[in-house]
Chains A and B, each alone.
Chain A
Amino acid sequence: MLRSELIDTLHLENPHLTREDVERVVSVFFESITQTLEKGARVELRGFGAFSTRYRKARAGRNPRTGGDVFIPEKHVPFFRTGKELKARIDNTRKE
């Protein structure tokens, strides 16, 4: 599923909204999550999962193409942890 398909589905379910409105809804939703992570805070969505950020120490890396040493500076990365309920639901789709 692509972002555009999510917008199409939401628009079908909410015909009183214009497609532009639905696009803004989807934008604001993901933008709010992004801005929360930018502040270093977390977003917890029960039944789905939680978005947070993780600190990664600087480390010595290697350029896989040239084999040369490279320095990888410290960084903060977005992190998602799947919620318990969704984890179980996903795993249950295995044998179907």
Chain B
Amino acid sequence: MSIGTVTRADLAESLYREIGLSRSESAQLVESIINHVIDALIRGETVKLAGFGTFSLRDKNERVGRNPKTGQTVQITSRRVLVFKPSQVLRERVDSSLSPKP
């Protein structure tokens, strides 16, 4: 895996290499995982992936915001947004590999 942005194709390649499934089946499984997570969220469910994190939905009220570029106030409509809370394990792994050790 080169440094740069990882995509579906790279994730499929990992399944192909590490599990030994065919390339097409690996690609199809990557697609299925993503679609099942999306479908659950569309149904309004929280998606909890142990060891990775939790995707949940949050309803935001209408509020007054500001365009940071122009400074003008704008009305921000109420909306439903997706939030991702990384698990403690993911947080620790990311921080210990990227932050310099004391």
A28–B30 alpha-carbon span in the complex (Å): 10
B38 engages A48 (CB within 8 Å): yes
How many chain B residues touch A (CB < 8 A): the figure is: 53
In the complex, 14 of the A-B residue pairs with CB atoms within 8 angstroms, ordered by the A residue number, are: A1-B37, A1-B47, A3-B51, A13-B32, A28-B15, A30-B51, A32-B11, A33-B52, A34-B52, A36-B1, A39-B97, A76-B98, A90-B41, A94-B79
A28-B19 CB under 8 A given contacts A41-B5, A42-B6, A93-B42: yes
A91–B41 alpha-carbon span in the complex (Å): 11
B99 engages A26 (CB within 8 Å): no
B4: chain A residues at CB < 8 Å are 41
Nearest CB of A to B35, in Å: 9
A47 engages B34 (CB within 8 Å): yes
How many chain A residues touch B (CB < 8 A): the figure is: 48
What residue in chain B is nearest A41 (Cβ atoms)? B3
A21–B26 alpha-carbon span in the complex (Å): 12
CB-contact partner of A28 in B3, B18, B55, under 8 A: B18
A87–B38 alpha-carbon span in the complex (Å): 11
A38–B96 alpha-carbon span in the complex (Å): 8
Q: A1-60: which residues lie under 8 A (CB-CB) from chain B?
A: 1-3, 6, 9-10, 13-14, 21, 24-26, 28-30, 32-34, 36-49, 53
Nearest CB of A to B80, in Å: 5
What residue in chain B is nearest A21 (Cβ atoms)? B19
Q: B30-61: which residues lie under 8 A (CB-CB) from chain A?
A: 30, 32-34, 36-38, 40-42, 44-53, 55, 57, 59
